[in-house]
Structure 1
Amino acid sequence: MKLSIYPVVFSLILTAFSCNDRRSLREEANKRQADSLEQLKKAEEAERIRPRTAADIKLTKELAFDKYTLGDEYTYQDSTRVFQWDKIKEKLAFVDNFQRKNKHYAVLQNYKNRNGEAPVVANFIRNAYKRVSDTLGTERYQSVPLYKEGNEDVPTRYGRDGSLVELLSSDTVTMIKIAGLSFEGNWEVPKRYVKTIGDTVMFNQVIVVDVTNQNICTMERSEEASWRILSMNPATSGMHKPPYSMETPTGIFVLQEKKPKMLYLKDGTHTIQGYAPYANRFTNGGYIHGVPTQRPDAPMIEYSASLGTTPRSHMCVRNASSHAKFIYEWAKTLQSLIIVID
């Protein structure tokens, strides 16, 4: 009996088509998987480089100093005061963002005009204290002249002592190019006013002073966009009382130096009136310190009923002396930021 080969051939053809179909399906599945992985990588990269916002910042309370702790909201006289966490998160997001790229940091310095009195700016005014300032209100005394790029004749404005900046040029030249991090714009500054911090420092310690609500909090970064709240305390900032007392200026400053006792003079004299313990200087003569004494030989005062009430300091930020000590021992010089908000 003669067998037909057609069924066999047909079966082989079906098998071939079936193998080709399976191969095509596998290839299509592999392509979809590869495309999905590529999209995932792109999404992850986009998320990695995306600027952080206040909504991204996570705050966790892990109090390391637990005396005189204030609530998120609390009563003062007939009003309610708060810690402005939304505004604080905006500042922390800003700190996180500018540290995501390698930068060479520096701090502007001219405490007590030690690096030379700044020249008069092109457009100056006499402020409420009868002293020369720029049109934005920054005084000439203890400040740094900021020149427009290419114009070294007359400065345009002043930069506050203690301001954090980014170096844009080598620090071996006479005039250094900087970008403001606590103020806007790119500027040129004489080298003698600029102290280089470096490109490896991380600002993981932040102290926020609120001059509206008269409080202070300390925070430490645990990872990007995640910060631990270490203390929440009453504070007293500077008052407007010419010619000696000035408001604590708002902005972002670097902790520049520490003094176990900061001696201060009686207004209008060269006589030492007393001292403030555990002083942490951040701008001009502005310190975060403990309760001041009225005599240089007086014992340290721990607390004052005026803390957290109304501004009454000369420019400084008064704290309970034990809280000032906590900051003194915890915060690292030239590696910690003081952010003053209103």
Structure 2
Amino acid sequence: MKLSLKLILLSCCIAGISCNQTKEAKQAAEDPAEQRRLDSLETIKKAEEEAKKKPKTAADIKLSTDLAYNKHTLEETYPYKDTTRIFQMEKIKEKLAYVENFQRAPASYAVLQNHKNKNREAPLVKNYHRNEYTRISDSLGNERYQSAPLYALGETDKPSIYGRDGSLVKLKSSDTLAMVQVEGVSFEGTWEAPKRYVKTIGDSVTFHRVVFVDVTNQNILTAERTGDCEWAIRSMNPATTGQHKPPYAQETPTGMFVVQEKKTKMYYYKDGTTSIEGYAPYASRFTNGAYVHGVPVNNPKGAIIETSWSLGTTPRSHMCVRNASSHAKFVFDWAKTFNALVIVIE
């Protein structure tokens, strides 16, 4: 008797599921918008299942050379003074594998922004100290100036850490809220942040163009995705990064950032003044005041300079990444805003 009752109940459940499925199919057939919704849900489900599979590694990345810019090109290994410098291809492949992996599932992307504290100075974090630039920084060394406050989930009294301007995140909650939940792509963890620091860039954006800056070897490489785990090197050039010279010059920060802003001429002040000393051509900003740009011209009205003996030698910039000016223009044209990454390695 009990077995018969179970069979009856099971039959009813199956019938109910079948009826629901038939109802959904009928509704979808009558309503194209409903069919698109179901198709979208199915696509997301498949993508999420795919993303849960074994992550890609450096060994999966096929990196070929197909230059789109061929001036001042360096070999993969090249002499420098009495030593040898390299393009760190294995490390580049590791980063490209990471870029492949975080894009395997659909997401709504956003960028943390607070250039020159335009969205208000971030509140003090719970544990802070003054760094060697006399500026306040968090326990990870991220400065308060130009950063966004990140709060532990459910704890909105004080932020825990700072998120650097230009950091890429995935938006995990509605962007109509005063506080939004973000999952770090440029950094680890899921956090809450005030909406004013978070610029949504959508769920259709793809990051298929990456600029790699090597602060150890003082070089720059651009790579473009051409297929599944397939990337082509578009340029390999000397560069000069930021030097440690407080209070005006700082190292180019390592990490992953989004290209946010372009300036044909980025004018700069003489240190310690508000007097314009010159400009840098074809500047692409990726974090704080750090740009990929051409050779600086110490004359606001001077002509563009193509190259400099100092490129590829030792850090000597204020935070920026100097290139030959024609290469800076290549990056300027090729790496679209909010659609390309700058990854700084060491």
Mark yes or no: TM-score above 0.5. yes
1:94 counterpart letter in structure 2: Y
Give the SS at the match of 2:328.
helix
2:104 corresponds in structure 1 to 100
Change (3 A) 1:69 1:274: same
| Deviation string, structure 1 residues 191-232 (Cα, Å, up to 9, x no partner) | 000000111111010000000000000110001200000000
**Which of 173, 185, 194 lines up with 1:181 in the alignment?**
185
SS of the equivalent of 1:296 reads coil
Give, in whole Å, the separation in 2 of the partners of 1:224 and 1:203: 13
Task: Name 1:27's counterpart in structure 2.
Answer: none
What residue number does 2:35 align with?
A: none
Cross-structure match for 1:191: 195
Please state how far the C-alpha of 1:124 moved relative to its aligned partner. 0.6
Match of 2:245 among 241, 245, 263: 241
Q: For residues 302 and 139 of structure 2, what CA distance do their matches in structure 1 show?
A: 42
Query: What amino acid is the match of 2:282?
Result: Y
CA displacement, residues 219-277 of structure 1 (integer Å, 9 cap, x when unaligned):
10001200000000000000000000000000000000100000000000000000000
Aligned mate of 1:204, from 208, 215, 219: 208
Is 1:50 aligned with 2:67?
no
Taking structure 2 as the reference length, what is the TM-score of the superposition?
0.85
C-alpha separation between the residues in 2 aligned to 1:47 and 1:214? 35
Contact 2:51 2:104 in 1 (8 A): no
Q: Residues of 1 paired with 2:76 and 2:189: CA distance? A: 35
Q: What is the aligned-residue RMSD (CA, Å)? A: 1.2
Distance, in Å, in 1 between the alignment partners of 2:50 and 2:290 is: 41
Match of 1:165 in 2: 169
Match of 2:276 among 254, 266, 272: 272
Say which of 90, 96, 108 aligns to 2:94.
Answer: 90
Percent identical residues: 65
Where 2:101 maps in the other structure, the secondary structure is helix
Q: C-alpha distance in 1, partners of 2:333/2:158?
A: 42
Aligned partners of 2:146, 2:50: CA distance in 1, in Å?
43
- Residues of 1 paired with 2:58 and 2:111: CA distance? 26
Q: Distance in 2 between matches of 1:132 and 1:248?
A: 18
Letter in 1 for 2:201: I
Q: Aligned partners of 2:67, 2:138: CA distance in 1, in Å?
A: 41
Give runs of ≥4 in structure 1 deviating > 3 Å. Answer: 45-49
What residue number does 1:131 align with? 135
Name which of 272, 297, 307 aligns with 1:303.
307
Flag structure 1 segments of 5+ consecutive residues without an equivalent: 1-44
Q: 2:265 maps to what in 1?
A: 261
Match of 1:118 in 2: 122
Q: Where do 1:282-321 residues align within 5 Å?
A: 282-321=286-325
